Chain A
Amino acid sequence: MKRDFLCMQGVSADTLTKLMDDAVGMKKIVLSGDKSRDILKGKTVATLFYENSTRTRCSFEDAAKYLGATVTVVDVSTSSVQKGESILDTGRTIEAMGTDVIVIRHSASGAPKYLADNVKCSVINAGDGLHAHPTQALLDLFTIREKFGRVEGLTVTIIGDVKHSRVARSNIVSLTTMGAKVRVYGPPTMIPVAAERLGCEVCTSIEDAFRGSDVIMGLRIQLERQQKGLFPSYGEYARFFGVNPERMKLANKGAIAMHPGPVNRGVEFSYALCEDECCYKDVQVTNGLATRMALLKWILED
């Protein structure tokens, strides 16, 4: 059976723990002078990104390279997105070249699963529509565990456009799996229907959202996907939903602020917060590399 990594549903706490344990060692490689390993020597990883990305794509490519795999970057012009047949045709072409893992990002929810169902090689979801971004959730989990030494029993509050966020969806699932308490807060136009059935609590005020939180997770306002008009202005958003050092003081002692990036400075996070030591967004980037290395190893190990 091939291994895919498509969403956090059904990924057990044991698997998540194993991946995080492995990522500890991988992080040492990332931070060391010699990053060349041959754990994945002879394997090929292809990245197939139908949506723009800098950090996620680079992170996957570097992760594969550091472990000795060959990387193929498939250049997909963004204009050819959406057409179902093309994902399948492209995927099968890549597979026919002997690729072991396809890392795909697509604007249509479900596209990676569709690809995975139709190719024999492994598929990793690097973000699909509003559905899932499981490697982001994995690196977030790792970052939280690294900081607090545990995930269980912590309170994580996700603030922002939860409705249109695949990061939020995946995080809610994995954090809940690991025993954290997850809460969400944002403009009512950005909170999904039946959010509580995902296993999270919906906060009723910005103060409530911060109080009792160990982790505050901001979400990027998705300019590229967001329909206009779900909130009146950036100024209004920052005023009522923004994360800043003053509000962080309402959170638990030692609380951290996380963000999947890229941050719209002055909107989701204030300028001051971005420079504050409680802001972990750069740590997340390093951890993204480490966790993706661990994931690639897990996907390809016998």
Chain B
Amino acid sequence: MKKLLIKSVLVRGEKKDILTDGDRIEKIAAGIKADGCDVIDADGLTALPAFVDMHVHLREPGFEYKEDIESGSKAAVAGGFSAVCCMPNTKPVTDNKYIVRYIKDRAKEVGLVKVYPIAAVSVGEKGETITEMGKLKEAGAVAFSDDGRPVESAQLMRIALEYAGGLNMPVISHCEDLSLVNDGVMNEGYISTLTGLKGITRASEEVMVARDIVLAETLGARVHIAHISTKGSAQLIREAKARGVKVTCETCPHYFAATDELCKDNDANAKVNPPLREESDRLAMIEAIKDGTVDAIVTDHAPHAKHEKEGGFVGAANGISGIETSFALSYTALVKSGEITLERLGELMTANPASIVNIECGRLEEGGKADITLVDLNEKYAIDKNEFFSKGKNTPFHGREVYGRVRFTVVDGNVRYKR
């Protein structure tokens, strides 16, 4: 079996060597001697279990001009990820086993990052009937979601939660009441009042979070809430968890590292759904991350072509290309600032999301999966969208100074990215 020796790397604060054997870690100790294997001199770098992103849009099949599995895979390993779960709002929609298999096959051919498809809750994401969830699971889907759209019918959501629950599969809910969105394009607040851009009330997210909590609680089912962005959503989930409701949730770096101030100059790269909120929400996200209300940090990586972000804010597409900036933004906003420890960030970016979608992730211990990311925590740099491997250069963080550079990404014992 192929072996890799990572020398002089910080593992939980101690300088050690890591020796892998195939896709497993064989040994972690100081001064490992091994012949005939590849060696990484990782002096000054820190080892972390490679990240798992349970919410990305790879756009293939159907929207390859925005991103494809190859470019998305390159971007993922550059971001330090060994595994990603891709959302089903492809064209055609990932609502049948053939597309699930296609995505898995393409990802294998590319051979960089492990791709786990999320299949649609409803056929065609139309919100009418549930997909063949059993067959989709057999084909390799790890969760169900109509992400990009809410499941508007509470009855359909009930059926999905119960049926998927029987398969021990999570349903990921994109919470949005479309009647309350009401043509809004950014958060409703001072900035929307100032810019005259139509606002989206926080309630559009929160009423749906509340509905799904009620469904999960009443039915004894399990639900995962996607990309929460408001103080109110965090509070609803915090209280539900305290009551024992089987609810988990995720948020994205842009909800704790940015606010709707970025929309002030009509920068369409700051247009995202749910929208960037206000400082009080940003602080509430950090609080929710600290107290365990938030289970996972995901990117909601949503690459778009240049022309889709042009033409002004109102007509621009929603979404941020985020997989290559996630670690640095999270590290800077959460760890460097002293809010949480690096270990806790690791749980949020790796172990917790992996556990929600029930996949194996890297573990820095002997016998653990050899999915390892080596980062330089001291490197300070400005985010440069022109360096992205993703086809989507749509980031509002271009030029933002951050700490934490991903230097190596090891997937199943193979170096898939180095810088």
Contacts and interface: CB of A to CB of B under 8 A. Distances in A.
A194 B189 contact: yes
Interface in A194-218: 194-195, 197-198
B193 A192 contact: yes
B368 to A, nearest CB: 49
A110 B193 contact: no
A130 B313 CA distance: 13
Interface residues of B, number: 21
Contact of A85 (B193, B194, B197, B310): B310
A53 interface: no
Interface in B179-211: 182, 188-190, 192-199
Contacts of A82: 314-315
Interface in A59-105: 82-85, 87-88
Nearest to A111: B312
Contacts of A194: 189-190, 193
A198 B194 CA distance: 7
Interface string A148-172: 0000000000000000001001000
B196 A195 contact: no
Contact of B195 (A84, A87, A109, A114): A109
B197 A131 contact: yes
A278 to B, nearest CB: 30
A9 B314 CA distance: 20
Contacts of B190: 193-194, 197
A5 B93 CA distance: 46
B117 to A, nearest CB: 32
A114 B313 CA distance: 9
A115 B190 CA distance: 24
A128 B314 CA distance: 11
Interface string A220-249: 000000010000000000000000000000
A227 B310 contact: no
Contact of B314 (A85, A111, A169, A195): A111
B195 A110 contact: yes
A195 B316 CA distance: 26
A111 B316 CA distance: 12
Contact of B193 (A114, A132, A193, A227): A193
B266 A110 contact: yes
Contacts of A88: 310-311
A128 B188 CA distance: 18
Nearest to A113: B266
B214 to A, nearest CB: 27
Nearest to B199: A193
Contact of B311 (A85, A131, A193, A197): A85
Contacts of B314: 82, 108-111, 129
Given A113-B266, A130-B198, A84 B193 contact: no
Interface of B: 182, 188-190, 192-199, 266, 307, 310-316
7 contacts: A109-B196, A111-B314, A132-B196, A192-B192, A193-B189, A193-B199, A197-B190
Given A194-B190, A198-B193, 12 more contacts: A82-B314, A84-B311, A84-B315, A85-B311, A87-B311, A108-B312, A111-B312, A130-B197, A131-B195, A166-B196, A195-B193, A197-B190
